[in-house]
Chains A and B, each alone.
Chain A
Amino acid sequence: MSLILIAEQVLNGLQFGVMLFLMAAGLTLIFGVMGLINLAHGSLYMVGAFAAAAVAGATGSFLLALAAALAAAALAGVLIEILVIRRLYRAAHLDQVLATFALILIFSEGTRWVFGSFPLFLDVPDALSGPITLPGGIQYPVYRLTLIGIGLAVALGLWWLTARTRIGIQIRAGENDREMIAALGVDISRLYTIVFALGAALAGLAGALVGAIQSVQVGMGEPVLILAFVVIVIGGIGSIKGAFIGALLVGLTDTLGGIFLPELFKLFMPADAASQTGSALASMAIYILMSLVLIWRPSGLFGARA
């Protein structure tokens, strides 16, 4: 196993991680500010991917496709926030789970209705297709490298937004004390809608970006959603920093585990059994990571003490 392969897998893990971060950041913000568990976040990811695929198919422009993804997901977010989610902020978790589960059913079947059951394809733009040679002779797809760049840029932007801007201050105040921020004269329901739309847009962006390297299909959002939950459990609910660290940990563990665990088992097992045991274990690696974090810190790496 060469160093180049390892470097490549580390980059893959990073790329996966930053995309998970886009999902997890929105979820953790929404939970931190509004106290809402949103299962339909994966649907917003799917909406972004489908919007991008549809617009790219019609116009051939990837940039327009991305803009469409952001807009469609944010719009869908605003719509469900106003129609449904708003009624759930003070509701029990069970109600939140059920209502957002219902939204998944509606979004998934609705999308199937409109686009059919066959996967759509979104092509990587020409300018970003093909590999680039990195220092050390590593050949790596430009597009994936771009994803890492976009993910890091969003992370920086979110940090700036929450730490340096007026709305960020309102968001942080809202996390600490809802009454307080209402007392400060901030229109809380508008703030909630904005935060929800921001989270939705991030999910839609992730869906579109990942949609270009995987297929765009109904149900694509939920596996990512659940991974984002793992990220949040590891990082701590409500913490953007936790979501970032957690996302990278999960991305790297999953990618590297899938490659190296079978290799590791080959050292002392027959190749056939090794690849089976290895890949079965690799599929569990991130959940084992989550369990370890839970035993060590039940409220996550950066979570407020429960």
Chain B
Amino acid sequence: MIGERSITLVVLGLLLAVVAWALVVDEPFTITLATRAAILALAAVGLNIALGIGGMVSLGHAVFFGLGGYAMGILAYHAQSFSALDLGLVSVAGTKSMPVIWLVALGVSALAALLIGLLSLRTSGVYFIMITLAFGQMFYYFAISWSAYGGEDGLSIYVRNGFPGLNTLVPIQFFGICFALLCAALFLNARLRASPFGLALNAARQVPARIETVGLTPFRLKLVAFVISGAITGLAGALFADLNRFVSPTMFSWQLSGELIVLIVIGGVGRLIGPVIGACLFVALEHWLGGLTEFWHVYLGAILLGIVLFARGGIVGLLTGREGPHV
């Protein structure tokens, strides 16, 4: 059977190869699809830290995706309308600079993850699932009723935000940015998993009682993981908004939270490359099946049922022949 590390390299290589091919035959739309896959993968890599290592079945990760999106939307909106962003005590100018937007997206979603985690990690199991789902809905309705930033209609950003030295409007360059961030997140995830923190977190998922008797607190480990996880998903949200040059409350929707979990499970829960495989397959299915029938979600549902009932461990599980972590 194949080792996990080789699968990781092959998958990333394949994604690059597809993009290279698209560049050669001049298929910018394929590059955009690949970019979309990379961004969704990044969001799911974030979720995989909470879900795959920490065992937290968060059905509310769209909150962070949406917050990242709105961080981008609001900053860019103020920049393009030359209006000040009033934060109560201070007012700041908007910005069209990606790195600044990313930092804000990371910060805002980390803060939200801290608050949501503090509340929802007081519970576990089904409660945790329901509560994270509920908080997701809270942000969704808040975004709808917040008319200053477009309410239900969302916000359009006319020109993609800039990155020093690059022309982000060129599809391949924007893909490069997203792919680099994805790789960085994967690297971070790998290091995290092997670090003392990752070891403790992973054990906290399996045997919380043991973790306490060696003097560690599962709550704190999980909370920190949840914050890191939320921040990464938030960063993906900012990129997603930039890809579409549009943000709307649907970025907060519960369907999106569900789909992020689906991506991970298709690829393999707790596997480093699982979310990337899942995202690529998802985008491919969405594109091909979606082109064949407008009811492609029926097939997605059937595939998903098949995986849950018969192929636990996802694609990586099938390829390596080893069961993954149990969540």
Contact = CB atoms under 8 A, between A and B. Distances in A.
A95 B298 contact: no
A222 B140 CA distance: 13
Interface in A87-144: 87, 91-95, 97-99, 101-106, 108-110, 112-113
A233 B131 contact: yes
A31 to B, nearest CB: 6
Interface of A: 31, 37, 39, 84, 87, 91-95, 97-99, 101-106, 108-110, 112-113, 222-223, 226-227, 229-230, 232-233, 237, 276, 279-280, 282-284, 287, 290-291, 294-295, 298-300, 306
Given A98-B308, A99-B305, A222 B123 contact: no
Contact of B123 (A93, A280, A294): A294
A110 B298 CA distance: 7
Contact of A229 (B57, B134, B300): B134
Contact of B297 (A84, A98, A105): A105
Given A109-B298, A233-B131, A306-B127, 17 more contacts: A84-B309, A94-B261, A95-B312, A97-B59, A98-B261, A98-B308, A101-B258, A102-B300, A104-B301, A109-B296, A113-B295, A232-B130, A282-B145, A284-B141, A294-B131, A295-B119, A299-B123
B137 interface: yes
Given A102-B304, A298-B122, A287 B297 contact: no
Nearest to B128: A93
User: What are the nearest 3 A-B pairs in CB distance?
Assistant: A105-B301, A287-B138, A102-B304
B300 A280 contact: no
B104 to A, nearest CB: 21
Contacts of A31: 126
A233 B127 contact: yes
8 contacts: A93-B57, A93-B125, A97-B59, A101-B261, A227-B137, A276-B147, A279-B145, A298-B123
A294 B132 CA distance: 12
Given A93-B125, A280-B146, A223 B137 contact: yes
A103 B298 CA distance: 9
Contacts of A291: 119
Most buried by A among B120, B135, B297, B327: B297
A188 to B, nearest CB: 20
Interface in B139-180: 141-142, 144-148
Contacts of A276: 145-148
A106 B302 contact: yes
Contacts of B296: 109
B101 interface: no
Nearest to A95: B308
A94 B134 contact: no
Contacts of A230: 130, 134
A293 to B, nearest CB: 10
